[in-house]
């Protein structure tokens, strides 16, 4: 006889429900009968769609995490948000300069950073958010782009920032500037694009489009790899 599942109390938008101990917030929400249409994506912690705010018993702090990663605790009060409202500048990347002047114009709040490191502490990706913000302040666009590369744009850093900045949007701008102006040109990529424009792969693509689902699966599993899967 299998042991009974242990249930613990949590509060979802003010309503007390009993959910299985050890569940992620997403699993708990669905167990409680919620049908999730927004605030949910990959379920594995890499899309950033399920940012959630919550409080724990006896703790004043408003905490945050991704619902697909965060495990429920007894007495947790939680609420999901569809997205993090934050200032996002509109710009044409071809009209910008890859230097500090662009951030002074588009994201001046970045320069209010007090280096409290709250953004880094809440980041579910364990990104050193404060470090890439400081790189922006120094005008080191390459370092900011590299430091923010794994950002999933969940917005949790912005929710906790006392300087009221949108770190993830500033990091996105740094990556765009780096990719557009500063990174080394990839000659083999441009060569492949030219081949595509000239129709080199049209016949092969046509064959693929005419294959059945089973044929495509077989071709995929039997493909030649440059490395060995162990």
Is 161 contained in some domain? yes
Provide the token pair at 122.
């809440």
- Summarize pLDDT for 18-28 with one digit per residue, the tens: 999 999 999 99
pLDDT of residue 178: 96
Mean pLDDT of 201-224: 92
Picking from 80, 115, 134, the residue at the C-terminal end of a domain is 80
Distance CA 193, CA 210 (A): 23
What is residue 44's predicted lDDT score, i.e. its pLDDT? 72
Tell me: do 136 and 66 sit in the same domain: no
Residue 207 falls inside a structural domain:
no
Residues 123, 63: one domain? no
3: confidence class by pLDDT, cuts 50, 70, 90: low
42 & 74 share domain = yes
- Give the mean model confidence (pLDDT) for residues 168-176: 97
229 lies in some domain: no
Phi, psi of 15 (to 5 degrees): -100, 130
124 lies in some domain: yes
Domain extent, residue 156, equals 93-182
28, 49: one domain: yes
Q: Give yes or no: residues 40 and 100 share one domain.
A: no
- Binned at pLDDT 50, 70 and 90, residue 49 comes out as confident
Instruction: Give the pLDDT band of residue 230 (cuts 50, 70, 90).
Output: low
Inside any domain, residue 227: no
Where is the domain boundary, 182, 203, 219? 182
Looking at the structure, tell me whether residues 12 and 73 fall in a common domain.
yes
59 and 132 part of one domain: no
pLDDT at 27: 93
Q: Give residue 2's pLDDT.
A: 55
Assigned domain for 187 exists = no
More confident residue, 45 or 164: 164
Q: Are 52 and 76 in contact (CB under 8 A)?
A: no
Residues 113 and 56 in one domain: no
In a domain, 218, yes or no: no
Domain count, the chain: 2
pLDDT at residue 35 greater than cutoff 90: no
Last residue of a domain, one of 18, 49, 80: 80
- Quick check: is 45 in a domain? yes
User: Residue 8's pLDDT is what?
Assistant: 95
Tell me the CATH number at 52.
Answer: 3.10.20.30
Which tens digits make up the pLDDT trace of 192-204?
999 999 999 999 9
Residues 67 and 101 in one domain: no
> Domain check: are 104 and 53 in the same one?
no
Give me the pLDDT at residue 48, please: 84
Q: What is the pLDDT of residues 80-117, one digit of tens each?
A: 777 788 889 999 999 999 999 999 999 999 999 999 99
């Amino acid at each position: 006889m299998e042991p009974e599942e242990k249930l613990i109390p949590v509060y979802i938008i003010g309503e007390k429900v009993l959910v299985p101990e050890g569940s992620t917030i997403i699993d708990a929400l669905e167990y409680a009968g919620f049908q999730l249409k927004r605030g949910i994506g990959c379920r594995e912690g890499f899309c950033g769609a399920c940012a959630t705010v919550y409080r724990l018993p006896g703790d004043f702090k408003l905490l945050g995490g991704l619902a697909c990663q965060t495990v429920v605790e007894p007495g947790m009060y939680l609420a999901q948000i569809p997205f993090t409202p934050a200032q996002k500048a509109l710009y044409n990347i071809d009209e910008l300069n890859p230097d500090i002047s662009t951030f002074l114009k588009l994201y001046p709040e970045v320069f209010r950073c007090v280096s409290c490191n709250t953004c880094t502490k809440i980041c579910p990706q364990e990104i050193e958010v404060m470090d890439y913000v400081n790189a922006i302040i120094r005008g080191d666009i390459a370092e900011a782009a590299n430091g923010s590369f794994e950002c999933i744009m969940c917005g949790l850093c912005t929710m906790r920032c006392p300087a009221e900045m949108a770190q993830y949007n500033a990091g996105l701008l740094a990556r765009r500037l780096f990719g557009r102006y500063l990174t080394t040109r990839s000659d083999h990529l441009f060569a492949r694009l030219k081949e595509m424009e000239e129709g080199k792969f049209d016949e092969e693509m046509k064959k693929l489009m005419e294959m059945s689902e089973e044929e495509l699966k077989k071709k995929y599993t039997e493909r030649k790899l440059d490395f060995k899967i162990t």
